[in-house]
Amino acid sequence: MREILHLISAIITLVGSLVILVAMIGTVRLPDVFCRAHALGKGLTLGLVLLLTGLWIDLGSEAAGLRIPAAIFFQFLTLPVASHLGASLSFQKRLPRYGDPKIDEDTRSECHRKDSVKP
Amino acid sequence: MKIDDTIILRTIVSFLFYLINVFSLYLLVRGHNLPGGGFIGGLGCALSIILLSLAVGVESAQRTLRADPVRIAIVGLLCSLVSATLPVLVGAPFLNNYNVKLENVPLVGDLPIGTPLLFDIGVFLVVVGVTTKLIFVLARSLSGLTALEPSEWRRYAARLEGPIEERGARLDEVPLEMPIAEEPKEEPHP
Amino acid sequence: MATLLIIAIFAPFLWLPATALAGRWLGPKTGRVALVAPLISTALLGWLALDASAGGHHVVEIPWIPSLGLNLTFLVDGLSLFFGLVVAGMGVLVVFYASSYLDDHYKHHGRFYAYLLFFMGAMLGTVLAGNLLLLFVFWELTGIASFLLIGFLHGNEASRNGARMALLVTGATGLVMLAGIVIVGQQLGTYELAALLSGNLSPATSSAAMTAAFVLIAVGAMGKSAQFPFHFWLPNAMAAPTPISAYLHSATMVKLGIFLIARIFPLFREVELWTPFLVTIGFGTMAFAALLALLSHDLKAILAYSTVTTLGMLIGFYGLAPATGAQGDFLHIASHVFFKGALFMTAGIIDHATGTRDIRALGGLRKRLPFLAVIVTICAASMAGIPGTLGFVSKEYMLKAQVIFLESGGTLAWCALGLAVLAMTLKVAFSARIIGHVFGGKPKAETFAHFHAPATAMLIPPALLALLSIIFGLRPQWLGDLLAPLTVTGLHAHEMLSYKPFPDHWALEVGLSLGIFAAGGLLYFALGRERWARVEIPGWLRVDHAFAAAVEMLPKAAKSLTATLRSDSPFDYLAIVMTFVVVLTGTFVATQPSLWPAFPKASEFDPLRTYVVGLIAIAGVLVLAMRRWTAQLIAMSIVGFLITFYFVLFKAPDLAMTQILVEAATLVLVLLLLARFPQTAEAGEHDARGGRPRAIFRIVVATGMGLLATLITVLALRPKHPDFAGSYYLANTVELAHGTNAVNTLLVDFRGFDTLFEISVLVIATLGAVGLLMRYRRSRAEYKAGSMALPGYSHGVRFEKTAKPGDDCV
Amino acid sequence: MNTNIVVLPLIMPMITAIVLLLAGHTSRWRRWFTGISALAQLVVAIGFITATYQLPPLFLAVGGWAAPYGIILVIDHLTAIMLTLGAITALAATVFGFVEMPVKRTHPLRSPLIQFLVTGINLSFCTGDLFNLFVGFEVMLISSYALLTLEADDWDIKEAFPYLALNLFGSTLFLVAAGFAYGIFGSLNFAQIAALGPSLAGDSRVTLLGLLLLVVFGLKAGLFPLYYWLPNSYPILPGPVAALYAGMLTKVGVYVLLRVFGQVLPTDLTLVHQCLAWMAGITMIVGVLGAVSRNFIRGILSFHILSQIGYMALAIGFFTEYAFTAAILYIIHHIVVKATLFLIGDTVAVLNRTDNLDHTGGLWKATPVLGVVFLLQALSLAGIPPLSGFWGKYMIIVEGVRLGEWVLVSLALIAGVLTLFSMMKIWMAAFWRNAEEGEGVHFQDGRWKPMTGVTVVLAVLSLAIGLGAEVTYKIAAEAARQLTDRSAYIDLLLGGGASS
Amino acid sequence: MIVATLLGFFRLVRGPTVIDRIMSFDSVVLCAVGLIVLLSRSWETPVFLELILIVSSLGFFGTVALVSYLKRTLPEQNEEDEIDEKGEPRK
Amino acid sequence: MIWETAILVGLLFGIACYLILRASFVRILFGFMLLTHAANLLVLAMSGDPTGKEPPIVLKEGAPLVDPLPQALVLTAIVIGFGVISYLVILLYRILLDQRTTNLRDLFDETREEREEGEP
Amino acid sequence: MNSFVLNLVIAVTWLLLQVKASFPGFVVGFLIGFGLIRLFPGVLDSRDYTRRTIALAQFVLIFSKQFVTACVQLLRIILFVRTKHLRPRVITYNIAGLSRFESLLLSHCITLTPGSSAVGISEDLDTLILHVLDTNNPDALRDEIDRTLKRGILAITRRPPSSCKFRFTS
Ligand code: NA
Ligand code: NA
């Protein structure tokens, strides 16, 4: 049982590490702030969550207690906000953005107002 | 369309505020046996308040705290000092530890209650008070307020001192008679 | 006996407060109150003198600071009694004289007499001291007292400067003397004069040390007695009111040097340097000062330089005295006290009566002040050494001593004799000039415009002194008999001199005397009144001017030194301190090969740690290299977080948590600060201020500091001490401190005391920060004027002149 | 004797500060409380002097943790002397501050911060642990920063920056040195380090540590070339606070030099001692020349501190028991005299409305009492016998002559003359010169009378120190004896005496 | 993982915008968290768990602080520049 | 012997000193922050090589633990450093408001006022 | 709400019955409590509570699936899509009618799910501005969000009309 758990945790940890690695490659490869925010907000979150889960399995809930789920919860709560904050600021300050410069508006929106789109 | 760029932050932070506080209290209490303690707990608590002030503005954060952080810190210092002095009253050396052990407290484990914990609580309060005050004054000053609230002026400044943000009439234009026995007629503070 | 002595010495001190207070009510009449103390002292010392027997001495000892070898030891022997009597007796005369001299035109009489009494007490203490250190204590006090007295008319800048000059010269030479005294104490093991002079001590371990001690002490004496090159303070001290000049600068204080030389005569006479040093200084000064006196016009300046002449002569006299002992020294001193004291007093009376002391503005006074003319003539005659006066006797015996010295002294003796003769010739000339130009000739109208006759009482003291000059001049043996019981073993030769008023046989000195009269008279008449008026002391002889210039220049030199040391350039402070650290430790390490670490092997590096170090290094270099504050700050934060990680590698969870939380709080603080910093300033930061040398310097110093830190880290653990304290805490944290976390038990229990004060630091830092956020303001003008920043007070206060008018006239 | 009383000098000022802070703004009872507390601290300190004279030191193993593992507080005779001097200075500064400023104008944080400063100073005096000493220094320094800037105006504030920067650097070095010491000795306890000293004889690391500590403490003491934080920052302080700083701060550095080199580190660090002596010698001259270069009283006095520190450090550099006695004697004299001089300077500034010597004058006629007090203190500073300043200087010269340090002795003598010169500069400009030549004398500002009163009390004290030099000497000698008697110290703290 | 940290540094050095650096800061912190997790695994000790919690929340904290600072100080770009795939401005 | 740490400490010290010697307040501030880090690390290094040791929390018997004393000292030092650095930050803020400069050299430049007054 | 409290009480009671308190114990207690409440819904009128809790569980599942998909997609893009083929753009998404909490939760989830991340919200809480990493068809994305996340959230936070009807009819 213990060996199996250990193996599972090892695999999860490995995957988590790889995810983080790729996400970090993403922060290097992707062309602008907004895209990199994706890598940060999703990739790192998943990677960390995986790592933490692996650790939880490895240590067992006796030693680790509630702290690892709490940490995971924390990651879900904060990381997207962090990435959102970065993107939001870049958008506000009109930092250079790669790709289609125009903003696609929600055509189905009933309360759509054309003048309100360009901030 | 105006973008509201803080709403997500505000919401998350007001949520986190409680979480972090619980966490820091936890760290305070169990510091004697596992990593943690007054400093760490206090800093955590202080940071939650700072986070709040970043998200919702310094004034509302101050309102949340209600008390003047400096006073909190001073009370904390007093608390530690008292815990250090208590053993003297029973003839033990200064700062000797006096413990009552609570066993098997949920989530914390064995918890010795005694002068070390009181001491740690003092540390906690000091750290909270100090850190928040330091940040509050700068944050207030940046948001166009005076660094100290006018109600604090008499407590932390001499009568003829004015706020540093002030660039108005110079204080030296207030006439003074020597020797000075009574108060000046005009308050220099606007 | 002991009680009497103590009362005699301390009477002036004890009477001083009463005098000072009496001044408030009595004004000019305070002098009468003050007179009590010198009278008591004179009476008691006279009583003791009557008791004295030749060669005997008494020691009175009261413990004071025995641990430092200093007791209130007083040595009562002929020398101390003689000088004590001079001091006290002259004190009586001067106080009496001053109570007429200081009339309603002066203020602060209480202070004046208090100073005078203070001075007198200090003088009595000095001459009666039986302990070298005690002697030094009183010696310095006389300097202070004279400083206050010279500066009595401190409304005048000349007074102030003269006082300062006197204090600095005598103070500085006094300190030199202290060094000499200390050497004596260490060589001979005691400061007690009775023991030192008895010759019973084991000999000094080093004759070089004794020579040094002699020279150092002699320098002290030269300073006090205004010997070249310290002679210049005396004429400048003449800014003092005349009673003071009469007392300090003729009769008493300037004699201290002479006294000291006499005191240490038995101690140092064997030192080889004794004769050459004292003779050169003494007779050199004698001639030089006589020349200056001749070239001066201020009556008091002439008298001052003439005093220096006599002092030089006396110093030289002790220098050439044979080891068996001097003869007739007291007579020379007494002679000088009589005529010079009187002359100063008369100068004061002339000044008082005519309002000037400039000899060129005076003339014809014999008609207005005939009695005074008689006194001055007698005294000046004594000064010139005219037969019939005590001065003549003194001069004859002086020349005789020099002639005797010719036998053993060689070239030195001939030079000394030449100088002495020259000086005496000049003395005759200026004495004649005083009589002739002040009292002779036609009265000058402008001088007599506001003439007012002096009080008769004022004339009594000089008259008395003049009378003594004449009486003892005609009957010198009377004086000799009076002084005979005051003979001191070791200082004085055993056989007594018998004094004669006139030489009864032909000798070289008699011939010299005649020559001196002739040459001096010739000199006086050769120049004539008009030519005299035009002579001036050449600039290169004015050492006082040089001194004043030096005093002026000192602050400027100090300022430039301070600037050289960058004391006002805060930008350089840290650089200096760091350079010092690097140089100090670097030099040490470079000379200690045992401290050089061996080059580390690759296997000593832990890969993960090394990797993190590499990352921190990158971030650190980024902090240096980044141009924008924000970017730097982010790099800083990364350094902080990575250090947290490094703490993890060190198995320090508590530390890591604290560090990261502190890092976060600091980050916010710094961000808040930067948010207020002007954006334009950021651009200005990149200007290459200071240029390349500065940058290279910075790099060198920083590298040095870095190497030092590395070295310390390596050395401290090479090896770490095996019984380090930490193991104790690990062993006992559960058992004794009831906690498993050793770091936390350390913080709140084992070393909770640190923590208690550490949180105090936080509280205080906050208080300080809070205190920074409210402030006083000061106008730029006030700041530039350097006005006092009394918080809450200087603000709004305009400078107004509020001193009451008339407060300053003396 | 292991006793809790030892903690009193630390707790009393701290509690005073806390109470004052909780009390809020200034009031009359706050003043009474502060004054009584300061007086009580003085009484306690004097009690310690009598309790340690020719008796073993009092100590406290804090928390019951015996040396070398717990923090030990030790009050030996030297500590007791320093505590007393600190209490005197603090009391004088407090009372002087009260008479200088009416209740309602007082800065509410000044008294608490002074009390915190005293706490830090006292901790530095009492502690027997190197790291705790670091903490004590920090308490002292942060309080001193706070007081320095508390009442600084918009121009003076800039002088606080170099002060802070240099001291911050010094603190960092201290921390480094403390770590280094732990690495070498495996302990931070003074007694333990002293006990281990002989076993590390000849280890160059100890010398390096000594050099490092020399820099650290030299910086605090204000030795050349580490003194830069001092001369321009003290003048921005309000008078009474400046007096406290001038009296105590640098002397803490001197005390620690004395304690650490005299008692804790091995005695064979001759190189370090020589460095100290030469730094001291240069400091004497540089300091006094700096004083000569200044034209306002506080500036002159601030530079004089350095010069005087030079004497004390020189004595420590001579490194004999006699020289230590001299240093202690000098400390006793200097603290009282220097504090008084700063207070006099402030009184002059109140009367003349400035202490710029270009604008002062007329005080000798106006207030002879102040003049006499100034003269006494100035002459004492210059080392005129039999005033208090003479004895220490004399002993230093004696020791210098005995050791054949001619150059250093000459420097000491020259510095004495220059001191006299610069003191006379103040005397002539502020006291002797006519009032009309300056800004006039403001008699109607009645504060000068009680202010002078405080200085008179201190002057009487300094006079007593000088004239009663036998007593002062015995106290100092006893302190030096206890300091150099290492084995007694080690036995007391590490032997059976310290078990609890 | 180690490589990942290094990559985080790339953006720190490279920029080009401040926000990139903030994000790189965030990612370095998170990578450090990852490393701590790995170390906890290999040392088999739970004592760093709180640290993990704190560090991750503090990474967020840092971002929030930096962003709110930049909101105040960062000048607005005049236009949304177009950039090419390498992140360079397109002319 | 921990060479990595030694080198790191030296490096941080060097960088910190270089920054401190510059004129810009911001750099000096950063310099002091780094200096604090460096000194803390140096003290921590005194706990010796941590390889193969447990954190100083006594959870199981017999395992070798690292020396806790340097950790406690560093913790104290960190907190003190925080207090002082915070104070420094606020002092710089005050100087900025009072003297309107962010540069040490400007702050003590006697000619600055005149220069500024010359400007409109 | 009452039901949730009840559930907690049951969990804590369970915990107190254990010898040693632990998290798994709490989880077990909570599950037991939930089972009991589910079994006897009428006692405290807990139907809505159980429904919502189940909706929450469903949403967590949907979200997890989306999250993992999103990550895989992201990793694919990072590793295999060349930058010049990338089609990032900014789109708006209408959230009019959602409550504040719902909008925020939605935006949070959007950041964590495929292709999109929230860039801003309009002040009136009507429009969400999203950045899309790689899309040619914004509308498809909007529909996707509508179908999965929005519906899931609404299921938790609102009583759908149908469920009201259901209650009335039964
Ligand atoms: Na203030
Ligand atoms: Na000082």
Question: Pick from B136, B129, D146: which is nearest to C764 by CA?
Answer: D146
Give the number of the ligand closest to the Cα of residue D140.
2
Question: Pick from D265, D393, D387: which is nearest to D325 by CA?
Answer: D393
Q: How far is the CA of D249 from the centre of ligand 2 (A)?
A: 4
d(CA D134, CA D145): 16
Residue G86: both structure tokens together? 């990338």
DSSP F24: B
Question: Is B81's pLDDT higher than 90?
Answer: yes
CB contact D268 to F (< 8 Å): no
CB contact F69 to C (< 8 Å): yes
Give the number of the ligand closest to the Cα of residue B163.
1
* Mean pLDDT, rounded, for D165-186: 94
- pLDDT < 50 regions, chain C: 688, 789-810
Question: Is D500's pLDDT higher than 80?
Answer: no
Q: How far is the CA of B2 from the centre of ligand 2 (A)?
A: 60
Contacts of B18 by beta carbon, 8 Å cutoff, 6+ apart: none
Chain E hits for F59, Cβ within 8 Å: 45, 47
Q: Is C538 helix (H, G, I), strand (E, B) or coil?
A: coil
What integer pLDDT is reported at residue D120 of this predicted model?
Answer: 96
Q: Convert the pLDDT of each residue in C272-290 to its tens digit.
A: 899 999 999 999 999 999 9
CB contact C421 to B (< 8 Å): no
What integer pLDDT is reported at residue C690 of this predicted model?
Answer: 60
CB D200 within 8 A of CB C573: no
* Mean pLDDT, rounded, for F40-44: 94
Higher pLDDT, C484 or D460: D460
CB D132 within 8 A of CB D10: no
DSSP C57: -
Task: List chains adjacent to chain A, taking adjacency as at least 3 C-beta pairs closer than 8 Å.
Answer: B, E, G
* Mean pLDDT, rounded, for D64-84: 92
Q: Is C229 helix (H, G, I), strand (E, B) or coil?
A: coil
Give the number of the ligand closest to the Cα of residue D151.
1
What integer pLDDT is reported at residue C581 of this predicted model?
Answer: 95
Chain F hits for D165, Cβ within 8 Å: 20, 28, 32
CB-facing half-sphere around the CA of D381: CA atoms within 13 A: 35
What integer pLDDT is reported at residue C506 of this predicted model?
Answer: 76
pLDDT confidence tier of residue D248, bands split at 50, 70 and 90: very high
What integer pLDDT is reported at residue E6 of this predicted model?
Answer: 57
G121, G127, G129, G130: best to mutate for the B interface, most B CBs within 10 A: G121
What integer pLDDT is reported at residue G168 of this predicted model?
Answer: 40
Chain F closest CA to E89's CA: distance in Å? Answer: 31
C-alpha separations of A21 from A85, C401, D407, G75, G78 in Å: 23, 110, 70, 10, 11
C-alpha separations of D405 from D249, D281, D285, D480, E58 in Å: 29, 11, 16, 21, 61
Q: How many other CB atoms sit within 10 Å of the CB of residue C264?
A: 27
> Average per-residue pLDDT in chain D?
92
ipTM of the complex: 0.91
DSSP C443: P
Chain F hits for D160, Cβ within 8 Å: 91, 95
Question: Pick from C737, C759, C760: which is nearest to C750 by CA?
Answer: C737
Chain E closest CA to F111's CA: distance in Å? Answer: 30
Q: How far is the CA of D308 from the centre of ligand 2 (A)?
A: 10
What integer pLDDT is reported at residue A78 of this predicted model?
Answer: 80
DSSP letter for each residue of B32-79: TTSS--HHHHHHHHHHHHHHHHHHH-HHHHHHHH-S-HHHHHHHHHHH
Residue C169: both structure tokens together? 């010269």
Question: Is G72's pLDDT higher than 90?
Answer: no
CB contact D171 to F (< 8 Å): yes
CB contact E23 to C (< 8 Å): no
Question: Is D146's pLDDT higher than 50?
Answer: yes
- Identity of the residue numbered B66: R
Question: Is D219's pLDDT higher than 60?
Answer: yes
What integer pLDDT is reported at residue D12 of this predicted model?
Answer: 96
- Chain F stretch 13-52, residues whose beta carbon is closer than 8 A to a beta carbon of chain C: 13-27, 29-30, 33-34, 37-38, 40-42, 44-48, 50-51
What integer pLDDT is reported at residue G23 of this predicted model?
Answer: 67
Contact pairs from chain C to chain F, CB under 8 Å:
286
What integer pLDDT is reported at residue A107 of this predicted model?
Answer: 53
Task: Indicate yes or no: CB of F54 within 8 angstroms of CB of C613.
Answer: no
Question: Pick from B127, B128, B161, B129: which is nearest to B146 by CA?
Answer: B161
Higher pLDDT, D399 or G31: D399
CB contact A95 to G (< 8 Å): no
Q: How many other CB atoms sit within 10 Å of the CB of residue C50?
A: 9
Task: Indicate yes or no: CB of C580 within 8 angstroms of CB of D226.
Answer: yes
d(CA C449, CA B32): 100
Beta-sheet pairing, A103-104 with G89-94: parallel
Rg (CA), chain G: 20
Give the number of the ligand closest to the Cα of residue D335.
2
Task: Indicate yes or no: CB of D146 within 8 angstroms of CB of C768.
Answer: yes
DSSP letter for each residue of F63-95: --B--HHHHHHHHHHHHHHHHHHHHHHHHHHHH
CB-facing half-sphere around the CA of G31: CA atoms within 13 A: 7
DSSP letter for each residue of C306-344: HHHHHHHHHHHHHHHS-TT-B-SHHHHHHHHHHHHHHHH
Could you tell me how many residues make up chain C?
810
- Tell me which residue has tokens 């010092």: C580
- Tell me which residue has tokens 């003689």: C82
CB contact A86 to G (< 8 Å): no
* Mean pLDDT, rounded, for D40-64: 93
* Mean pLDDT, rounded, for D58-80: 91
* Mean pLDDT, rounded, for D189-201: 91
CB-facing half-sphere around the CA of D352: CA atoms within 13 A: 35
Residue G31: both structure tokens together? 């599950």
CB contact B41 to E (< 8 Å): no
Beta-sheet pairing, D58-61 with B109-114: unpaired
DSSP letter for each residue of D145-173: HHHHHHT-BTTGGGGHHHHHHHHHHHHHH
Q: Convert the pLDDT of each residue in G117-136 to its tens digit.
A: 777 777 777 777 778 777 77
Chain F closest CA to D166's CA: distance in Å? Answer: 10
CB contact E59 to A (< 8 Å): yes
Give the number of the ligand closest to the Cα of residue D312.
2
Q: Is C358 helix (H, G, I), strand (E, B) or coil?
A: strand
Chain F closest CA to B118's CA: distance in Å? Answer: 18
By C-alpha distance, the chain B residue nearest F90 is: B138
Residue D372: both structure tokens together? 């006499």
* Mean pLDDT, rounded, for F39-65: 85
What integer pLDDT is reported at residue C357 of this predicted model?
Answer: 85
Question: Pick from C460, C369, C467: which is nearest to C96 by CA?
Answer: C460
What integer pLDDT is reported at residue C666 of this predicted model?
Answer: 92
Which residue in B4, B104, B106 is closest to G122 by CB distance? B4
Contact pairs from chain B to chain G, CB under 8 Å:
34
What integer pLDDT is reported at residue F120 of this predicted model?
Answer: 36
B33, B48, B51, B138: best to mutate for the E interface, most E CBs within 10 A: B51
Chain C closest CA to D319's CA: distance in Å? Answer: 19
Question: Pick from D277, D346, D270: which is nearest to D309 by CA?
Answer: D277
CB D286 within 8 A of CB D224: yes
What integer pLDDT is reported at residue E18 of this predicted model?
Answer: 66
Chain E hits for C649, Cβ within 8 Å: 39
Q: Of B12-21, D66-75, G103-112, where does mean pLDDT reach its minimum?
A: G103-112
CB E40 within 8 A of CB A55: yes
What integer pLDDT is reported at residue C247 of this predicted model?
Answer: 87
Chain F hits for B165, Cβ within 8 Å: 97
B140-171 burial: b if 16+ Cβ within 10 Å, else e? bbbeebbbbbeebbebbbbbbbbbbebeeebb
Give the number of the ligand closest to the Cα of residue D144.
2
Chain D closest CA to C646's CA: distance in Å? Answer: 18
Chain C closest CA to F119's CA: distance in Å? Answer: 16
